[in-house]
Chain A
Amino acid sequence: EPEVTQTPSHQVTQMGQEVILRCVPISNHLYFYWYRQILGQKVEFLVSFYNNEISEKSEIFDDQFSVERPDGSNFTLKIRSTKLEDSAMYFCASSYAGGSYNSPLHFGNGTRLTVT
């Protein structure tokens, strides 16, 4: 069964540095998402992306964050000037349609980001 893949599995960075988290969604999916999970807390929506543009974003997704689909397969999340509170597990997901009953989200294994 096709999977969403994320790299790296663990990223350690220093406060103030920029990081890029990478995801390869399922190939025929059209919608892409980033979620994050701070340790011990709930999974939170960050952003959804469709047709090469952001279709929805949460209040968490401020100017520090950006997403890009640089080619036909990758979907990236860039975090500029990382802060300690950015430490979390970041999940990429994709869906064929908009995440409805018939087109649920498929998640990757996550990237654990540690900001020191």
Chain B
Amino acid sequence: AQTVTQSQPEMSVQEAETVTLSCTYDTSESDYYLFWYKQPPSRQMILVIRQEAYKQQNATENRFSVNFQKAAKSFSLKISDSQLGDAAMYFCAYRSAMGATNKLIFGTGTLLAVQP
């Protein structure tokens, strides 16, 4: 079974600085998708960035980028120029691209605080 691990329960960053959130996963599959979701205090989970496993190029969305290391099964999220609005819980998630399943498997989350 696939698992997702986020080893940093909490992180803190100064406004305008850069922070990296860690995510590792375990799978025997070769084709899958990885996602980072943000959950602000409003509770709604918002998709931040996504990556297809067969694409070696790291995904980038404005200030958000990932460092995808397939061999190491690592999918870290880098937030550049951190803003107060980035404060939230961040979840890493895995979805198989094989078979009929479409469920997301989530990590336990990292709570990011942004200090002014």
Report Cα–Cα, A48/B42, bound state, in Å: 24
B48 to chain A, nearest CB (A): 10
In the complex, what residue of chain A is closest to B46 when comparing beta carbons?
A107
Cβ-defined contact, B45 with A107, below 8 A = yes
- Hey, what's the 0/1 contact readout for B77-110 against A, CB within 8 Å counting as 1? 0000000000000010101010011111111110
Cβ-defined contact, B107 with A42, below 8 A = yes
B46 to chain A, nearest CB (A): 8
In the complex, what residue of chain B is closest to A4 when comparing beta carbons?
B44
Q: A105 with B108: in contact, given A100-B33, A110-B44 (CB under 8 Å)?
A: no
Cβ-defined contact, A100 with B97, below 8 A = yes
User: Size band of the B side of the interface?
Assistant: 20 to 34
Cβ-defined contact, A109 with B100, below 8 A = no
- Hey, what's the 0/1 contact readout for A43-74 against B, CB within 8 Å counting as 1? 11100100000011010000000000000000
Q: List 23 A-B contacts (CB under 8 A).
A: A3-B44, A33-B103, A35-B104, A41-B108, A42-B107, A43-B45, A43-B91, A44-B106, A45-B103, A45-B104, A48-B103, A55-B100, A55-B102, A56-B102, A58-B103, A89-B43, A95-B102, A99-B103, A101-B51, A104-B35, A107-B37, A109-B44, A110-B43
